[in-house]
Structure 1
Amino acid sequence: MERENFKSRLGFILISAGCAIGIGNVWRFPFVVGNHGGGFFVLFYLFFLIAVGVPVLTMEFSVGRASRQSAVKAYKVLEKPGQKWHIHGYIAMFGNYVLMMFYTTVAGWMLYYFYRYVAGGIEKLDGSGVETAFGEMLSKPGNMAFWMLVIVLLGFGICSLGLQKGVERITKWMMLALLALILVLAVHSILLPGGAEGLKFYLLPNLDRLREAGVWNTISAAMNQSFFTLSLGIGAMAIFGSYLGKKKSLLGESINIAALDTFVAIVAGLIIFPACFTYGVSPDSGPSLIFITLPNVFNQMEGGRLWGALFFLFMTFAAFSTIIAVFENIMSCCMDQWHWSRKKAALINVFVIALASMPCVLGFNVWAGFQPLGAGTGVLDLEDFIVSNLLLPGGSLVYLMFCVNRFGWGFKNYLAEANTGDGVKVPAWLRFYFTWILPVLIFILLVQGIWGVVGKLFV
C-alpha cells in the first residue's frame, strides 16, 4: 500500500500543531504562569521549549520520515537486526489508547457546554448554579457517555475519509477557525475595564512572586510545561513525519510547530486573566477554571451567552484537533500492522475507544469511590498520570537514545534525516548536548513526575 502524503506544508504544520495544542494549553498554562512569577516563568518556559522540546520533536519527525511507517514498524525499519527498540513502539501505541481513554470524555464536556450556551440556560445561572450545573453533568454517566460517543464517531468518521480528504482538510479549517476565535476572544478580554491589571499579573516579571513560588520550583514547572506541551514520546508526532516529504528540514518545521503551540498557550492567558481580573474572580486551575470560574465571568459580561459559546467552541476545536491527530496515529498503526483498510481500522477502533473511555465516564459517578492516587483522585487522574508522567517523558527518552546512541539508529543517521531539505539545520556540534545533557534533563523530569504523584502516597 503506497504511503499517503500531506497535500500541503501548511496542512502538516497545522495538523502537527493541532496535535500539540490541547486542553492543557488553555487551562494549565495560564494558571502555572500566574503562580510562578508571571513573566519569569514565560522566559524559562521559552528557554526549555527550545532546549528540550524542539530537539526531541525533530527526533520523532526524523524517525517517522526516514521509516515511512507508524510507531511500531518505524523502529523495525531503522533498528539493526536483533535489536529490541521496536518494543517501545507497542508501548507508544498503548499510550495513544490510554490518552484517548480520558481525552474523549473531556472533549465531550467541551462540546456539551458549547451546546448548552447555544441552546441557552447557563448564562442565567448564578455562581452556585454554575457550580451545581457542572456537578450535575459529572453525576450523569448516560449524558457524558453520549457526548463522548459523539466525539469518537466524529473523529473516526473524519479519519476514515483519508489523510488529505479527511484529516488534513478538516483539521486545516478547524485550526484556522481556532486561531481566529482565540484572537477575537483575546482582543475582547484585553479591552475589558480591568484588562490591563490582568495583563500585568500575567506577563510582567515579578520578583516577589518568583521568590514566593521558589526559583527552582519555577524552573522545574517551566521545564515540565515546555516538554509536555508538544505531546512527545508516544509516536503521535512520528506518524506525521511519516507522511512528510523531503523538501524541508525538520528543525525549521519543529520550530514553526512549537511557536504555534506556544502562541495559543500564551493567547489563552490573554483571554483568561483580563476577564478574571475585571470581574474579581480567582483564576483557579483545572476543570473548575473552565467549567465554573469562566462561565461565571461570561455570565457577568455584556453578550455573555455569545462569548461563552465562542469560548467553548474554541475549547472543542483545541481538544478535537488532538483527538483527530491521535486517532490518525492509532489507525495508521493498525493499517501498517495488520494491513487493514482505512475504513476497517476506523470501524473497529470506534468500538475499542468507546468501550475504553467508559471507566473515565464512570469514575465521576458510579465508580467515584475508586481513588487510585489518594483521596480526591479518580480514574481520569490515574490515566493522566500514566500518560503524562510515565509514557511521555519515558518515551521521549527512548526516542532520544535511539537517535543519538550507536546501539540505536545513531546520531549520523538522525542528523542526515533531520537536515534533509531546505531550512534551518541541526548543527553537528550539538551532539555532545544531545548525547550527555539532554537525556539527564528528561530523566530528571521523569523521576520528578513520578515522585510528585507517588511520593504523596507515602508521605
Structure 2
Amino acid sequence: MALVIAIVVGGVAKGLERWNKVLMPALVAILLVLFVVALRSPGAAAGFRFMFHADFHKLTPKAWLEALGHSFFTLSLGMGAMLTYGSYLSTKTDLLRSAVVIAVFDALMALVAGLVIFPICFTFGLQPAAGPGLIFKTLPVAFAQMHGGSLFALLFFLLLAFAALTSAISLLEVAVAYFVDERGWPRPRATLGMGGVIFLLGIPSALSFSRLAHVHLYPGMTLFDSLDTLATNYLLPIGGLGIALVAGWRLARPVALEEFRDPRLFPYWHLAIRYLAPVAVVLILLFKMGVVG
C-alpha cells in the first residue's frame, strides 16, 4: 500500500503515467514468457482443448449474464477508474478507438493468461476450476515439480504482483481525484488520507483468512468473500447503471457527440447507452439476486 500511495502522490505524469509505462509492458513480457513455457508443456494440447472446445449447449442465458457481470470487473466498469483515467486524456484522443483497443487487449490478455494456467493444470493433473486456491495453493506445488520451476514461479507471482499494483493504483486514483478536483485538497494530503483509510478498511478482509475467519456477513462466506460478493455482484453493476443513465439521459447530446466524434456510429452508441446498457445491467443485478436465471 505504501508503494501505491507513493506512486499516486506523484500525480499523473510523474506517478501514474511513468509507472504504468514500466509495469504494463513488464506484465505483458512476463505473461508472454510464461505462455511460451506453457506451450512446451505436456498438457498444452489439453489446455487448448479446454479453452477453445465450444459446447454451445452451455451457452445459456445464465452464462451470458455471468459473462456480462465478469466484464464489469475485468474492464473496471462501474467503479470510476475508466472515468478518472479518461478525464486525463487529451481532447485529441479518439475515445471510440481507445475503448475498442482496451476491450480487445483485455480479452487477448485474458486468453493468454488462460493458456498459461490451464496447460500447467493438465500437465500436473490439477483441477482447472479450483478458483483462487488454484493460484495460491496448487500452482506453487506444480511449479516445484517443474524443471526451472523456481524461476517460473517467481515470474508468475511477479506477474500477479504487477497486476495487483496497477489495479490498486487505478482504484486509489479514483478517490484521490475526487478530493483533489472537487474538494480542492492538495494531492499529497488526498493520497495519504485516502490511502490510509483504504488500508485500515482492508485490514479486516486480510484477517478474514486467520483471526477473523469466524466472521461471516453472508452464510458460509468469510468477510473477504462477503465483501467481494457485495462489490462484484451489486456495487459494480449499480455503478455501471448510474454511469449509463447519466451518459445516456443527463449528458447533453451535442456534448456526447463532440466527445464521440463519429457521427455515423453515434446514434447506435446513444441507443445502446440509453436502453440496451441499462437493461443489461438490470438483468445482471436480477440474476445476481436470484430473481432471474
The verdict on a shared fold, with TM-score over 0.5 as the criterion, is yes
Query: Using CA pairs below 8 Å that are at least 6 residues apart, which structure has the higher relative contact order?
Result: 1
* Alpha-carbon distance, 1:430 to partner: 4.1
Of 137, 141, 152, 1:296 maps to 141
* Alpha-carbon distance, 1:427 to partner: 2.9
Deviations 1:87-129 (A, max 9, x none): xxxxxxxxxxxxxxxxxxxxxxxxxxxxxxxxxxxxxxxxxxx
* Alpha-carbon distance, 1:303 to partner: 0.7
Deviations 1:406-441 (A, max 9, x none): xx1244432222228xxx974324433432332211
Of 49, 52, 55, 1:200 maps to 49
Partner residue, 2:225: 381
Of 386, 390, 393, 2:237 maps to 393
State whether residues 403 and 411 of structure 1, in contact with CA within 8 Å, keep that contact through their aligned partners in structure 2: no
Of 204, 210, 214, 1:365 maps to 210
Whole-angstrom CA distance in 2 between matches of 1:443 and 1:217: 14
Of 97, 103, 116, 1:271 maps to 116
State whether residues 38 and 115 of structure 2, in contact with CA within 8 Å, keep that contact through their aligned partners in structure 1: yes
Whole-angstrom CA distance in 1 between matches of 2:219 and 2:264: 47
Cα distance change of structure 1 residues 255 and 383 upon mapping to structure 2, 3 Å threshold: same
Cα distance change of structure 1 residues 358 and 429 upon mapping to structure 2, 3 Å threshold: closer
Whole-angstrom CA distance in 2 between matches of 1:227 and 1:332: 21
Q: What does residue range 329-344 of structure 1 map to in structure 2 within 5 Å?
A: 329-344=174-189
Matched, 1:442 2:291: no
Partner residue, 1:85: none
Matched, 1:451 2:293: no
Whole-angstrom CA distance in 2 between matches of 1:350 and 1:404: 33
Cα distance change of structure 1 residues 194 and 234 upon mapping to structure 2, 3 Å threshold: closer
Whole-angstrom CA distance in 2 between matches of 1:417 and 1:255: 15
What is the percent sequence identity of the aligned residues? 36
* Alpha-carbon distance, 1:153 to partner: 0.3
Q: What does residue range 184-333 of structure 1 map to in structure 2 within 5 Å?
A: 184-205=33-54, 207=55, 210-211=56-57, 213=58, 215-333=60-178
State whether residues 402 and 410 of structure 1, in contact with CA within 8 Å, keep that contact through their aligned partners in structure 2: no
State whether residues 72 and 78 of structure 2, in contact with CA within 8 Å, keep that contact through their aligned partners in structure 1: no
Deviations 1:133-160 (A, max 9, x none): xxxxxxxxxxxxxxxxxxx100000111
Give the root-mean-square deviation of aligned CA atoms.
2.0
Provide the secondary structure at the position in 2 that maps to 1:313.
helix
Q: Which runs of 5+ in 2 are unaligned?
A: none
**TM-score, normalised relative to structure 1:** 0.60
Partner residue, 2:258: 416
Provide the secondary structure at the position in 2 that maps to 1:227.
helix
Higher mean C-alpha deviation, range 441-450 or range 424-433: 424-433
Q: Number of matched residues?
A: 292
State whether residues 393 and 442 of structure 1, in contact with CA within 8 Å, keep that contact through their aligned partners in structure 2: yes
Partner residue, 1:11: none
Which one-letter code corresponds to 1:451 in the other structure? G
Q: What does residue range 108-127 of structure 1 map to in structure 2 within 5 Å?
A: none
State whether residues 178 and 317 of structure 1, in contact with CA within 8 Å, keep that contact through their aligned partners in structure 2: yes
* Alpha-carbon distance, 1:273 to partner: 1.0
Whole-angstrom CA distance in 2 between matches of 1:416 and 1:350: 35
